[in-house]
Every structure is written in structure tokens, then in C-alpha cells.
Amino acid sequence: MEQLQTRIFGRKILYYDEVESTNTLAHAMVLEGAEEGTLVIAEHQTTGRGRMGRKWHSPKGKGLWMSLVLKPQITLQFAPQLTLLVAVALCRSIRKLTSLQVGIKWPNDLLIEGKKISGILLESSADEEKLQHVIAGIGISVNLDLDDFPEELRSVATSLSIEAAQQIDRTQLLCQFLLELETLYELYHEQGFAPVKLLWEALNVSLGCTVRSQGPQGVIEATAEGIDDAGALVVRLADGSLTKWYSSNVEFGSR
Ligand code: BTN
């Protein structure tokens, strides 16, 4: 790809017409020796997966369904920081190519006016605390029309082309995203999570929102106040105390 300006990310691309899931394939490729930066991308996924066992809808030729192999120099406990890093890179690349006001909902959904346009699924393989590799699975609904979405998603999901009222060049977006991601990833290894956290906070749309989570004694309601240095959500409970939520099974309400 002529437009690709990265040193490592996407320099090796494994491109498929149809796969079950690019994440599954990327894990298998690592076992066969795939290096950091290898990108697995497909036009169509038959069983694309999202967080919490959800299915990820991946119609043919309409999106970017891809998985990047990462081998970060960090321990397992810091892996959640990478989710936020990928979300920042994605948000910045979309904002650079379109005038769309994309925001990040903790931990890793990209939203336009409350509707989801992208999701990120990081899967890691670790030996005790030592991280072996991470597969960053990214799905971007680029050129889907409303009727490409299953009916139950039409009120909560959207695509870049719907929002921009024009088709978006997938190759251009891919190249911009890989460049943003590689630049941020290098910064993260040089300077740690602090600069990524600042960028995430500037792009987030979830702080200040009411949040709910299922606790052992029923649903707990709180207000999202920030993120900590490991990428967990810091919330204020009804009694005024602060606590951290790590699970992504958090439901967001209004601000
Ligand atoms: C989510 O929001 O729940 C995460 C969705 C992640 C979807 C992407 S599409 C490419 C990669 N392969 C998968 O099977 N899932 C991720």
C-alpha cells in the first residue's frame, strides 16, 4: 500500500475474503511465528466476536474488520491500557479524515452522537504475569447502510458513511489509523501511560455520566469520574466514596 507511512504496523498484511474471525486467525498466526505489527484483515467475518461473548456483525466489503499482532514490553496488569490506546488512535484517525465528532465511551467503544461506530476487542496471551502477545481486534463500521445492520442494532449503531453522508475510503482510513497507532504505541513505550491518558480524557464522552453495574447485592449506580493509571474506571458511589470498576460490563446512562 503506497499510502502506508508506518515502520512496523501493517508492513505485513494477511488479507482474506472471508474468515471466521480475524482475532482467531491472528492468534494462530502468532503460533506460526507472526511478528509484531502483522495485520490480519478480512472483507467478511462469519463469526466475528465482540466483548462479553457478543457477536460482531461484519458484512462483506463494508467495514474494516482486522486484528493487529502486538508484543508490548509490559506486564499483564497493564494490558487494559492498550485498549484505551487503540481507542485514542482510532478516534484521532477518524477525526483527521472526516469532520465527524467521534468520542470514546469507556473502555473502548467509539460513538457518534451516542451511536456505536466501532468496537475494540483486545485478547492477550500471558505466561503468569508475562505478556506473550496481544491481539488488538478492531471493527469499524465504515460504509454500512442502515439496512446492513440487523434490525435490533439500528437504533444503537451507525456507520461513518451514514454520519458523513458520503462513502469513506477504507484504505486511507486504515493507513491513517496504523500511523496514529504506531506513533502512540512508541510514545507509550517511551513515556508510559500518562500522555495516552491525557488524550483519552480529551476524547472521552463517558466521564460525568451515570453508570450502573451488577454487584452481588443487585445493581449499583454511580457517577463516572475518571480513569486510573491502569485504565480502570473511577466512579463515585451514592455515599460519596470513590471506587474503581474494571469490568466492561458497565451500563452508561445520561450525563
Ligand atoms: C466490541 O465492541 O464488543 C468489540 C468488537 C470487536 C470486533 C472486531 S472485528 C475484527 C476482530 N475480529 C473479531 O472477531 N472481533 C474483532
- What is the per-residue DSSP string for 105-144? ETTTEEEETTEEEEEEEEEEEEETTEEEEEEEEEEE--S-
The DSSP result for 165-191, as a single string, is TS---HHHHHHHHHHHHHHHHHHHHHH
CA distance 143 to 135: 24
Q: Work out the pLDDT band at 183, boundaries 50, 70, 90.
A: very high
**Where along the chain do its domains lie?**
13-203, 210-252
Could you identify the atom of ligand 1 that is nearest to the CA of residue 50? 3
Which three three-digit cell numbers place residue 167? 462513502
Strand partners, 135: 69, 123
Whether the predicted pLDDT of 254 surpasses 90: no
pLDDT at position 66: 98
ipTM surpassing 0.95, yes or no? yes
Q: What is the DSSP letter of 157?
A: B
Whether the predicted pLDDT of 1 surpasses 90: no
Residue whose CA is at the smallest distance from ligand 1 atom 15: 49
Could you identify the atom of ligand 1 that is nearest to the CA of residue 58? 9
Q: Is the CB of 59 under 6 A from ligand 1?
A: no
Stated pTM of the model: 0.94
Distance 7 CA to ligand 1 centre (A): 25
Could you identify the atom of ligand 1 that is nearest to the CA of residue 47? 14
CA distance 63 to 66: 9
CA distance 86 to 168: 20
Q: From the CA atom positions of the chain, what is the Rg in Å?
A: 18
> Which of 3.30.56.10, 2.30.30.100, 2.20.28.90, 1.10.1750.10 would CATH assign to domain 210-252?
2.30.30.100
Q: Work out the pLDDT band at 216, boundaries 50, 70, 90.
A: confident
> Which of 3.40.50.10490, 3.30.930.10, 3.40.50.970, 3.40.50.2300 would CATH assign to domain 13-203?
3.30.930.10
Q: Residue 243 in 3-state DSSP?
A: strand
- Mean pLDDT for the stretch of residues 221-230: 92
Span 127-158, pLDDT tens digits: 888 889 999 999 999 999 999 999 999 999 99
Report the candidate in 139, 86, 84, 90 with the shortest Cα–Cα distance to residue 107: 84
Tell me whether residue 108 is annotated as binding: no
Q: What is the DSSP letter of 101?
A: -
Kindly report which listed range (134-148, 206-220, 231-245) carries the lowest average pLDDT score: 206-220
Residue whose CA is at the smallest distance from ligand 1 atom 16: 137
- Mean pLDDT for the stretch of residues 192-217: 91
pLDDT at position 129: 80
Q: What is the DSSP letter of 227?
A: E
Higher pLDDT, 128 or 88: 88
Task: Answer yes or no: same fold for 13-203 and 210-252.
Answer: no
